[in-house]
Amino acid sequence: MDENAASPIIVTCPLSREHRAHFSFSKNHFDLYLCRECDFRFVYPMPDDTKSVYGSDYFIGARRGFGYVNYEDDKVAMRGFFERALDAVEGVVSARGTLLDVGAATGFFLKIARERGWRVAGLEVSSYAVSEARRSGLGVVEGTLESSPWQGPTFDAITLFDVIEHVPDPRRTLARAFAILRPGGAVAINTPDTGSFWGRAFGRHWHAYCPPEHLSYFNQRNIQTLARECGFETLSVTKIGKRFTPAYIFSMLRRWQGLRFWRWMERAVLRMPLHRLELPVNIRDNMFLVVRKPAVLPPVAPANRAMRKAV
């Protein structure tokens, strides 16, 4: 496929489900479309098989140009982010009850939440990651949020860290989260921000544009609109940053700029003792949201009632 060739196809925006979206650009042999009304950008057509993206090589090696160089090394650097994210959730949900982590990977965050007194469960699409999590004694279910087994309000908190950009139908994902969240419960979401300086400055070369790993791309406005339409109230939107290993940073730069030099640096640093060094990074192109399900739900309008019944 010609990476620069425009497509004549016009499709309906899957976020608003009414406005037309137009071809924006191609990357990694996938077309991305942009809704000019809500600025939501998405892959179209969606890949037939997204599960195959998340094999063992997604967590070790990042051989296909996305994923983790070594998740076991990288996850330790994530602890600071996870702790701050839990602080934000616990500021909303006073009692540490039941927590569901969507996209739980091998369960590192679940262990941290459990240490802090939460009763935890996880969801993960990767068979490899699920088996690793279960070896650690964690209750991680293989599958998506939409296909999850829980019925009715079950959880006090749901976390979607670097998840919503991976799903083909984010409206359905958030509607399902609303359905299984208890009133007064919180959902924490972390995802790239297309409206950030780097997202706008680099355009299609921005590192977060990486189909078929990332399928749905938000800015601060449209993700809050989606949350509101699914029944949530937004409590905060921040840019809290993370810590990364040098190898992960070089891997991200390679994806961003496409230079072999960064691949060489990535391989070189893995042979050095400093490959587990934790470096704080906050280039403010990721947003962290906390949204809440109202403690007292308003009457459900007929149109919304039909949508929730279908979840």
Length reported for the chain: 311
Q: How confident is the model at residue 310 (pLDDT cuts 50, 70, 90)?
A: very low
Q: Are 130 and 142 in contact (CB under 8 A)?
A: yes
Indicate whether 273 pLDDT > 90.
no
Are 78 and 242 spatial neighbours (Cβ–Cβ below 8 Å)?
Answer: yes
pLDDT digit string, tens, across residues 189-217: 999 999 999 899 989 999 899 999 999 99
Average pLDDT over residues 292-296: 92
pLDDT greater than 60 at residue 6: no
pLDDT at 58 over 90: no
Q: What is the CA radius of gyration of the chain?
A: 19
Entry pTM: 0.82
Span 216-248, pLDDT tens digits: 999 999 999 999 999 999 999 998 766 666 656
Positions of CATH 3.40.50.150 in the chain:
48-310
Give the C-alpha separation, 29 to 63, whole Å.
17
Q: What is the pLDDT of residue 116?
A: 96
pLDDT above 80 for 64:
no
**Phi and psi based region of residue 137 (left: phi greater than 0; alpha: psi -120 to 50; beta: remaining):** left
**CATH domain 48-310 topology:** Rossmann fold (3.40.50)
Residue 250 in this model has a pLDDT that exceeds 80: no
